[in-house]
């Protein structure tokens, strides 16, 4: 008899709320998550034109506290945690392996002297935590604490902050309304940030897991529409934002992923993991780069399709993320291609070479198309 290992999918504190709304639940990164609540396209437009919310409790929150926190993070991240000095500033960056490949991209918050918060991707969370602990000096006073006692809801869209503010505890509202992008505010276990992953404004609201259902219901009553992973993916693609595991992974460096800006080269003596490999890549040159594609025909761009030169069948790259862009009503993609490809190319779709234009992401930001159609 063959015994097959059954993988148990984790569920967020909002499972009952998703089921009550008729969500289509699918496996994602070891979790059971809503793909949509009826219409992925409608959810996409809801975020672009009004306000939508996403259960992102599957993402992992890791708190670091102690005198060695900044030193450890300075070793682990290609971006420099010393750049954020005012509570509560946020920093986007990548953890790299020694070859310069991206283990994960994350957001780091500086919460006060010796206190930091990481928000990392669900699919890599356990590996990230093991990686962090493996570089932690045993016996030191630094505490590394995963916060699975918390839940997180992202509220996104032009009306998101207005509709969400009254659902935040009163003693946190004024500070939350005054937040600038990539800042956060905190009262106890409630934590409100303004980073986003959709190309729209909004809040990420962290609260105790037991209080998440009431927050979700309150947002529903305020007119915030529930949205699933499907809309989140088309929104982030239109915004030109990378998805870890697709647009970058442990075999690809930030320099080939439109993330060179997240690498802090100074101070020169900060020996972050992967630095030597990145410096060697930079000196060698000829790096592939991540570009945007806008299809001129009626087909749909998909991951792994080959990118060809415009005037020959020579392959010069591959699509990393692609799909239909509801805001543009066109097919778009991110693709990793050879340098000096030019302004036009073709994509191999079911044996046909379909013309496409190379554009600079983002495709859409704050509800407005940024590329010429």
Cβ atoms of residues 212 and 57 within 8 Å? yes
pLDDT of residue 18: 98
| Domain at 1-286, CATH from 3.30.1360.120, 2.40.160.50, 3.40.640.10, 3.40.50.300 | 3.30.1360.120
Enumerate residue ranges in the chain where pLDDT < 50: 1-6
pLDDT of residue 3: 45
Query: What order do you get walking across the sheet with 150-156 strand by strand?
Result: 184-187, 190-193, 202-208, 150-156, 52-55, 225-226
The two three-digit tokens of residue 171, written as one number:
């003693």
Within the chain, all domains assigned CATH 2.40.30.110 are found at 288-362
Nearest CA to 90 among 113, 106, 74, 72? Answer: 106
> CA–CA separation, 319 vs 334, rounded Å?
6
pLDDT of residue 267: 96
pLDDT tens sequence across 252-280: 999 999 999 999 999 999 999 999 999 99
Q: Cβ neighbours of residue 43 under 8 Å, at least 6 residues apart?
A: 36, 37, 52, 225, 226, 227, 228, 230, 231
Cβ atoms of residues 74 and 64 within 8 Å? no
CATH superfamily, with its number, for domain 288-362: Aminomethyltransferase beta-barrel domains (2.40.30.110)
Within the chain, all domains assigned CATH 3.30.1360.120 are found at 1-286
DSSP-based three-state secondary structure for 52: strand
pTM: 0.95
pLDDT of residue 317: 97
Is the peptide bond prior to 88 cis by the omega test (within 30 degrees of 0)?
Answer: yes
pLDDT tens sequence across 124-156: 999 999 999 999 877 678 999 999 999 999 999
Q: What sign does the CA torsion over 191, 195, 196, 202 have?
A: positive
Cβ atoms of residues 192 and 168 within 8 Å? yes
pLDDT of residue 8: 67
> CA–CA separation, 356 vs 296, rounded Å?
5
What are the two backbone dihedrals, phi and then psi, of residue 324, each rounded to the nearest 5 degrees? Answer: -80, 130
> CA–CA separation, 152 vs 61, rounded Å?
9
pLDDT of residue 7: 60
């Amino acid at each position: 008899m063959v015994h097959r290992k059954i993988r148990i999918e984790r569920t967020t504190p909002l499972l009952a709320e998703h089921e009550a709304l008729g969500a289509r639940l699918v496996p994602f990164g070891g979790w059971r998550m809503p793909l949509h609540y009826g219409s992925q396209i409608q959810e996409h437009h809801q975020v672009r034109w009004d306000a939508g919310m996403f259960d992102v409790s599957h993402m992992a929150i890791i708190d670091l506290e102690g005198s060695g926190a900044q030193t450890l993070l300075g070793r682990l991240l290609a971006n420099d945690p010393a750049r954020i000095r005012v509570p509560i500033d946020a920093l986007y960056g990548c953890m790299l392996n020694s070859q310069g490949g991206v283990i994960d991209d994350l957001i780091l918050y500086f919460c006060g002297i010796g206190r930091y918060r990481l928000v990392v991707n669900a699919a890599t969370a356990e590996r990230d935590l093991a990686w962090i602990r493996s570089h932690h000096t045993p016996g030191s006073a630094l505490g590394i604490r995963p916060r699975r006692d918390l839940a997180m809801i992202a509220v996104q869209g032009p009306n998101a902050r207005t509709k969400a503010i009254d659902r935040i505890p009163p003693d946190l509202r004024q500070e939350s309304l005054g937040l600038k992008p990539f800042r956060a505010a905190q009262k106890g276990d409630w934590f409100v940030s303004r980073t986003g992953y959709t190309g729209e404004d909004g809040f990420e609201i962290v609260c105790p897991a037991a209080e998440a259902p009431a927050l979700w219901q309150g947002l529903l009553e305020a007119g915030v529409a529930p949205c699933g992973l499907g809309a989140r993916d088309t929104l982030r693609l239109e915004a030109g934002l990378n998805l870890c595991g697709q647009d970058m992974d442990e075999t690809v460096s930030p320099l080939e992923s439109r993330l060179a800006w997240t690498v802090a080269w100074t101070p020169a003596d900060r020996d972050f993991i992967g630095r030597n490999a990145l410096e060697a890549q930079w000196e060698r040159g000829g790096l592939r780069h991540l570009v945007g594609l806008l299809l001129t025909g009626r087909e749909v761009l998909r991951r792994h399709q080959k990118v060809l030169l415009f005037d020959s069948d020579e392959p010069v790259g591959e699509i990393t993320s692609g799909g239909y862009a509801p805001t543009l009503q066109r097919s778009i993609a991110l693709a990793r291609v050879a340098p000096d490809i030019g302004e036009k190319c073709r994509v191999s779709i079911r044996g046909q070479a379909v013309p496409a234009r190379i554009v600079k992401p983002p495709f859409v930001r704050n509800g407005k198309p940024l590329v010429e159609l």
